[in-house]
Structure 1
């Protein structure tokens, strides 16, 4: 007689690390019931994540604004995502749901699976208005107007999509720039809506990946973050590879790290995997993280922190005719508008342009020229643009543009450096107002060679120097009378 499924050993259904905010109620049980109506029967571990990740506060909002789940491959992560997405469409009434993955094929597989689940449940299927495929995107639209969109992440994907729920599959591949774009889409929902972001994946191959920050916050029990990690901790590089490979043969470790072992993964498969992957077995099957290689203290390599803080004056204001500049990085993921001018009371002033609390440092470039036209009311002394396409667009819109050359960019960088921390103490007359985005850029900036000189570059992929490059270019414009407009009229008023 064959053994029943209850007699088969299964992997651990609770994670090694589990932190989540307290909640009075949870939508988890209802989500599991709804999924079962579509033929999706969840494992106990998947229910565990939903129960604690979908907890609700007394005001009806999610206790966890962010949910992170790290589990080795093929354990059933996809079914967990499918359950969350079905709930968004058919239980929670979420208007916009984004499911993104690092690779197109992963996003496409998610779409096909969701379509199959919906079509298998007549009560769900009759609520579908259409399915669509094309232009690298797939999606589902309900008769209620709700939409589920599938995309493969690129340098700028996710821009402009304001979602109630954002699923970030293969989260180990996320970059800082992608997260800036996605968080900007969530900001509109943060006060009156009830948004939630899900991170799901395996430990990254890059030991300085962005998600190490999520891991740090999760293990510390950060508020509004539900965190679940089935992995066995860190790889210990002080132990020899031979000794590590021997330890990986311990089947007890396999069961601790893989909730799907005995359900959808076999011991035989793990044996084959270990023989083929060797050291790769640790992150892939044991969910182990490489020691973090990012250096949190590696910043301030060009302009020192003491000098930058000494130049900060939150009350500083510009007067006269400011210079306006636009910088766009090579990947065109973001753009920034920088300002520079004479500081009231003496010296020079730089800042990232903005309107109230919204900075002109945003994803993409389509917003730039309309915003520049708005800034014309301030009669800038010069408009400097370091991007041919944007310069063409601005001129077509009737703006007078100085097209920055490589020497102009270099000059702006050196003017800012000298004005903040140059060798001539008397020449350190540049002031800023302490904008966090600009400070982050200064902290993470390094030098890149340009001919016999240098310009700004980022220390690593977790840094974006766009705001710094924009204000440096503006400082070039302000400090170079030969590029000024001939008939600009001074504007006296506040920029903020």
Structure 2
């Protein structure tokens, strides 16, 4: 009797953790069929990921803006990436695709494999205008003008390349600085385009790696994130290594964590791997994560939660003329107006607002009219960190201070010192517990600015706009050279 794959036991074709947004339509089956036309026949688990990652909303946008896939090595992750890239080029019509790997050799292997797949299909190959290779980059350009580009992140590439899809292979090696560069490539597409970013890899060796935030969001079922993890969860350090090694010998665990077991990985290979890797077998073959060793949760990385809560005073009130700060992030998706002023026993910060809500809203078109309304409080200073918005405010008759980089840095440090600084005498800044501002503090990290720093968001789920606004306001309040020369007016509440 002849045997077939149907006679061979295979690893689990569905992940231990699978969270993804619902969608009425998916391009997954079409993507798998297109890959097969190039000779790439996908496993059920690879089809599963495509089906739940390429779902569309009624408006045609991706239901999942981000996709994360964690699977042990040699299970077929590369083929999944290849199928997604082929779909982007020949099915979805994506104009720019970026395939990024931690090392140059991995990016080069991806390029060679994609070229081989395209050339194996005359229909696909006929659409290629050119392949290019050199200067540490490779790529494919179609006659339609679409481009697929391969880069190695270790070379610092990625900044300035605007992609419809960004593939981050070896995602466990991602750093915050690399993600800052790569997220900037997505902002141009975030409103009028339909971008998607993929993270693929194995659990990191660094127990404080950036991707722990992705893991937390995925396990919590975060909106617009499709998350798939075949690994067996987190290593329990309270169990002695000897006992853990006994557990790792169980083939049932191997089949749970490796969808390619029985297809492209054998039990004998796993046995040999365990004998050589010992405790390294857990992350490498069982996809297990080290206990997280970063800051509590994945936030509060600059101002600690305890310090922020110690600065909370829901009865704090502004006593004297306020200074206003206006911050607009680079993608101009939101803007915020912050206020800072003297208060009894110290200084007060908050995001301004009225009965209609806080002045932290989408877009920038509302800002100048709102600043004109706030003029009745005769502010000591209005600080704006956006050239176009400052010009618009000045044309409307407002006297503003255009913040430069040094001003931004000063505002960030004034707020940090006022809440969590090393000197208790300077910790006199109080806030009233606004949820939007607290979320910004929780999600903020440091962005290097010369020899100093300014606020930066930790990930796409975080927005530091309210925090940056009150920091600018605190700079304005604390810096007499930017004050307006006018009499102070009584301050009560925003209206």
TM over 0.5: yes
Q: Is the 8 A contact 1:28 1:50 kept in 2?
A: yes
Aligned counterpart, 1:286: 286
Residue 255 of structure 2 corresponds to residue 255 of structure 1: yes
> Does structure 2 retain, via aligned residues, the 8 Å contact 1:53–1:226?
yes
Counterparts of 1:57 and 1:200, CA distance in 2 = 23
Aligned-partner Cα distance in 2 for 1:440–1:45: 37
Offset of 1:223 from its aligned partner? Answer: 2.9
Shift of the 187–385 alpha-carbon distance from structure 1 to 2, 3 Å rule, reads: closer
Deviation at 1:265, TM superposition (A): 1.4
Separation in structure 1 between the aligned mates of residue 77 and residue 445 of structure 2, nearest angstrom: 37
Quote the offset at 1:383 in angstroms. Answer: 7.0
Tell me which residue corresponds to 2:151. 151
Question: 1:160 Cα shift?
Answer: 2.8
Conservation of the 8 A alpha-carbon contact between 1:383 and 1:477: no
**Paired residue for 2:101?**
101
Displacement of 1:455 in angstroms is: 8.2
Q: Unpaired segments of 5 or more residues in structure 1?
A: 326-338, 360-369, 387-401, 447-453, 491-496
1:52 aligns with 2:52: yes
Q: Is the 8 A contact 2:441 2:467 kept in 1?
A: yes
CA-CA distance at 1:64 after TM superposition: 2.1
Please report how far the alpha carbon of residue 188 of structure 1 lies from its aligned counterpart in structure 2 after TM superposition. 3.5
Matches for 1:136-147 after TM superposition, within 5 Å: 136-147=136-147
Q: 1:456 to 1:166 in 2, by over 3 A?
A: closer
1:92 and 2:96 aligned: no
Identify if the C-alpha distance between structure 1 residues 51 and 373 changes in structure 2 by more than 3 Å, giving closer, same or farther.
closer
CA distance in 2, matches of 1:415, 1:238: 38
State the Cα RMSD in Å: 4.9
Q: Shift of the alpha carbon at 1:385?
A: 5.2
CA contact under 8 A between 1:253 and 1:286: conserved in structure 2?
Answer: yes
Q: Is the deviation greater in 296-305 or in 114-123?
A: 296-305
Partner residue in 2 for 1:307: 311
CA-to-aligned-CA distance 1:331-357 (integer Å, 9 cap, x gap): xxxxxxxx9998699979899xxx986
Q: Which moved more, 1:84-93 or 1:155-164?
A: 155-164
Change (3 A) 1:139 1:466: farther
Q: Once the 2 structures are TM-superposed, how far is the Cα of residue 323 of structure 1 from its aligned partner?
A: 11
Question: For the residues of structure 1 that align with 2:388 and 2:60, how far apart are their CA atoms?
Answer: 42
Separation in 2 of the partners of 1:309 and 1:101?
Answer: 47
Q: Report the CA distance between 1:179 and its aligned residue.
A: 3.3
**Residues 221 and 480 of structure 1: CA distance in aligned 2, closer, same or farther (over 3 Å):** closer
> Residue 252 and residue 415 in structure 1: after superposition, are their counterparts in 2 closer, same or farther (change >3 A)?
closer
What whole-Å deviation, never above 9, does each CA across 1:382-416 have from its counterpart, x for those lacking one?
97656xxxxxxxxxxxxxxx9x9xxx999957875
Partner of 2:214, secondary structure, is helix
CA distance in 1, matches of 2:74, 2:426: 61
| 1:189 aligned counterpart, secondary structure | coil
Where 2:9 maps in the other structure, the secondary structure is coil
Whole-Å separation in 2 of the counterparts to 1:173 and 1:280: 17
Q: Deviations over 1:177-223 (max 9, x none)?
A: 43344334333333332222211111122222232232223223333
Report matched runs for 1:385-464 at 5 Å. 416=418, 423=425, 428=429, 440=440
For residue 264 of structure 1, what is the aligned residue in structure 2?
264
What is the TM-score normalised by the length of structure 1?
0.70
Change over 3 Å in CA distance of 1:76–1:62 after alignment to 2: same
Does the CA-based 8 Å contact 2:71-2:231 persist in structure 1? Answer: yes
Q: Deviations over 1:432-459 (max 9, x none)?
A: 99975x974587679xxxxxxx987999
**Is 2:173 the counterpart of 1:173?**
yes
- Distance verdict in 2 for CA 1:455–1:81, change over 3 Å: closer
- Residues 1:232 and 2:232 are matched in the alignment: yes
Distance 1:323 1:190 in 2: 26
Q: Distance in 2 between matches of 1:185 and 1:286?
A: 34
Q: Which of 71-80 and 226-235 deviates more?
A: 226-235
Instruction: State the match for 1:64 in structure 2.
Output: 64
Counterpart of 2:118 in structure 1 is 118
8 Å Cα contact 1:311/1:432 also seen in 2 = no
CA contact (8 A) 1:413 1:473 kept: no
Change (3 A) 1:86 1:344: same
| Residue 293 of structure 1: how far off its partner (Å) | 2.6
Residue 47 and residue 183 in structure 1: after superposition, are their counterparts in 2 closer, same or farther (change >3 A)? same
Q: 1:248 to 1:458 in 2, by over 3 A?
A: farther
Residues of 1 paired with 2:361 and 2:40: CA distance? 47
Who is 2:297 aligned against? 296
Asked if the contact 1:419–1:428 (Cα under 8 Å) also holds between the matched residues in 2, the reply is no
Distance in 1 (CA, whole Å) between partners of 2:96 and 2:134 is 19
Deviation at 1:256, TM superposition (A): 1.5
Structure 1 residue 62 displacement after superposition: 2.3
Distance 1:131 1:223, change over 3 A: same
Distance across 2 between alignment mates of 1:142 and 1:205: 38
What are the residue-to-residue correspondences of 1:200-215 with 2, within 5 Å? 200-215=200-215
1:130–1:261 distance in 2 versus 1, CA, 3 Å: same
For 2:422 and 2:28, the matched residues in 1 are separated by 53
- Measured in 1, the distance between the counterparts of 2:97 and 2:454 equals 35
Aligned equivalents of 1:127, 1:313: Cα separation in 2 = 66
Paired residues of 2:68 and 2:226 also in contact (CA < 8 A): yes
